[in-house]
Amino acid sequence: MGENEIISVDSESWPGEDLVRAHHGRLRRLCELLLGDREEAEEIVQDTFMKAYEASMGPSAPNDWSAWLTRVAVNACRDRRRAGWWMRFRRWTDRVEDVALAASDPDPADVAARRHVRQQIWSAFRGLPDRQREVFVLRHVEEYSTAEVAEALGLSSGSVKRHLFRAIRKLRDALGDVQ
Amino acid sequence: MSPCLSDDRLTRVVAELGTNAELAHLATCVTCTGRYRRLTGEVDLIRRVLLTTAEPQRRAVRSRWGSVAAVAALSAAGVAALFWIEITAWRAIQPASDLAQAEQMSATLADVTAALFSVDGEPQVALADSPAVVALEQDAALEQDSTVDVARCGEGTGQDDAECAAVSSGLENLENPSPSVEGSDASDLELQDPMNVIEMDEPERTVLETDNVDLGG
């Protein structure tokens, strides 16, 4: 099935551009947070919409496209992390050397403090295990409910809460070192 | 013991893992409520940082431990490759040389054993060159030659008349053995050379009578 053919097909079950417009930015941010790579995040978002189109052509199209897209994107990120062992190895062996952030605050001390806080937060966030990172992003960045997170990740609510507890504790420890 | 909640317990409450007792205390304790708000504020700060700021750029500087790990991994791979070669390739070749060496060793031992522990007093190799064995082999060869000559003379292939006469006389001697040798010793008869009987055409012909002599076994 060619790409042009996909674009030209019009189906009643395929929401089309509305779905892409509504979820593209959210999914790209989600994948970027989970992977830490903008280009790979964009690839995964494209793949996710491709799978959405194929699902809409199938016998059982999902009713809740938002949850479906989130689940597919998170699973794709997980698969990409498993496959990219060399990238992970390089990331693990690299050090965060510099934080190039634009600052609007004129106070140099405040700027330095904020920069250091941001750096610590990002470093701690990247140091989280994959599952804890996924749960934290969906629960506190995407502001899903616990039940929605559990459904998207295929976990129980209790498991989601435990992962969330551990993630918050580690992130707070990083903040505590700064403060 | 203070009834106020610890940081871990407050974090559990934020993660919706708090018990009813902890929630009840939180609703009534001003201190814990303040700490709880501070905690949720920290989580909100983390969320805003993740949402609104770019991730710090990672400079491609390999740490020293990363290089050490890479060298260790390569060394381990090299050692594993050496073990693999030892186990598969080298041992696949080794049994053939062992087998050849074993055959050579067994042949050498057989020679030494034959030379040292021969029952007849002579090694088998020496026995093969003994005069008695040579004489027996010559007997067999001459008997085969004489049979061939008789066949040629019978066919009239133009062979020399003298030779055919000698052959025919030899055959006559075989058919009419001399009675003078009937009482001779069989062991002596065996040692006669049949070649002499045919070529010299002498009446002894004792060797050819050995077929009629009972050798007792």
Q: What is the 3-state secondary structure of B23-59? A: HHHHHHCHHHHHHHHHHHHHHHHHHHHHHHCCCCCCC
What predicted TM-score, i.e. pTM, was given to this entire model?
Answer: 0.52
- Number of structural domains, chain B? 2
Q: Is residue A104 domain-shared with residue A85, that is, in the same domain?
A: no
Chain A positions touching B22 (Cβ under 8 A) are none
What was the ipTM of the complex prediction?
0.74
- Position B102 in a domain: no
Q: What CATH number has the domain bearing residue A149?
A: 1.10.10.10
Do A67 and A108 have their domain in common? Answer: no
- Chain A closest-CA separation from residue B75 CA (Å): 17
Are A89 and A136 within one domain? Answer: no
Q: Which neighbouring-strand residues pair with A154?
A: none
Instruction: Collect all residues of chain B within an 8 Å Cβ-Cβ radius of residue A140.
Output: 43, 46-47
Burial of A44 (0-12, 13-18, 19+ CB in 10 A): buried
Beta-carbon separation of A122 and B59 below 8 A: no
B88 Cα to chain A: minimum distance (Å): 30
The three state secondary structure string of B170-216 is: HHHHHHCCCHHHCCCCHHHHHCCCHHHHHHHCCCCCCHHHHHHCCCC
Residue of B8, B35, B49 to mutate when probing chain A, most A C-beta within 10 A: B49
Statement to judge: residues A112 and A85 lie in one domain: no
Pick the last residue of a domain from A94, A126, A147. A94
Domain final position from A29, A64, A94: A94
More confident residue, A108 or A70: A70
Minimal CA separation from A61 to chain B, in Å: 31
Instruction: Choose among B198, B103, B24, B14: nearest CA to A162.
Output: B14
Q: Which of A94, A129, A163 is the last residue of a domain?
A: A94
Considering its fold, how many domains does chain A have in total?
2
Q: Could you give the CA distance from residue B112 to residue B106 in angstroms, rounded to a whole number?
A: 10
Measured CA angle at A31 (ends A30, A36), to 5 deg: 110
- Nearest residue on chain B to A114, alpha-carbon basis: B49
DSSP three-state, residue B138: helix
Question: Chain A: residue nearest B58 by CA?
Answer: A96
pLDDT for res A118: 87
Residue linked to tokens 């793949």:
A47
Structure confidence at residue B12 (pLDDT): 92
Residue A101 has its nearest CB partner, among B15, B54, B62, at B54
Buried/exposed code over B2-27 (b: 16+ C-beta within 10 A; e: otherwise): eeebeeebbbbbbbeebeeebeebbe
Q: How many CB pairs under 8 A join A and B?
A: 97
DSSP B130: S
Interval A130-172: pLDDT, tens: 999 999 999 999 889 999 999 888 899 999 999 999 999 999 9
| Residues whose CB is less than 8 angstroms from the CB of residue A76 and which lie 6 or more positions away in sequence, other chains included | A31, A44, A47, A48
Average pLDDT across chain A, whole number: 79
Chain A residues touching residue B45 (CB < 8 angstroms) = 117, 121, 175
CB atoms within 10 A of CB B43: 21
Interface probe for A, chosen from B19, B43, B62 (most Cβ of A below 10 Å), is B43
d(CA B17, CA B11): 8
In a domain, B97, yes or no: no
pLDDT at residue number A161: 95
In which band, very low, low, confident or very high, does the pLDDT at A44 lie, cut at 50, 70 and 90? very high
Enclosing domain of residue A73: 1-94
CB contact under 8 A, B15 and A164: yes
Structural domain boundaries, residue B29: 7-52
CB proximity B92 to A under 8 Å: no
pLDDT at A16: 73
What is the least distance, in Å, from the CA of B32 to any CA of chain A?
Answer: 17
Q: Is residue B92 part of a domain?
A: no
B188 occurs within a structural domain: yes
User: Does position B167 have pLDDT exceeding 60, yes or no?
Assistant: no
A40 falls in which pLDDT band (50, 70, 90)?
confident
Q: Examine the domain organization and report whether A26 and A61 are in the same domain.
A: yes
Do A89 and A12 share a structural domain?
yes
CATH number at residue A75: 1.10.1740
Residue of B nearest to A86 (CA): B70
What does each C-alpha distance from A46 to A28, A74, B38 come to in angstroms? 9, 13, 39
Q: If you average pLDDT over residues B50-62, what whole number do you get?
A: 72
Question: Is B195 part of any domain?
Answer: yes
Let me know whether A101 and A90 are in one domain: no
Residues A124, A172 share a domain: yes
Q: A151 and A87 share a domain?
A: no
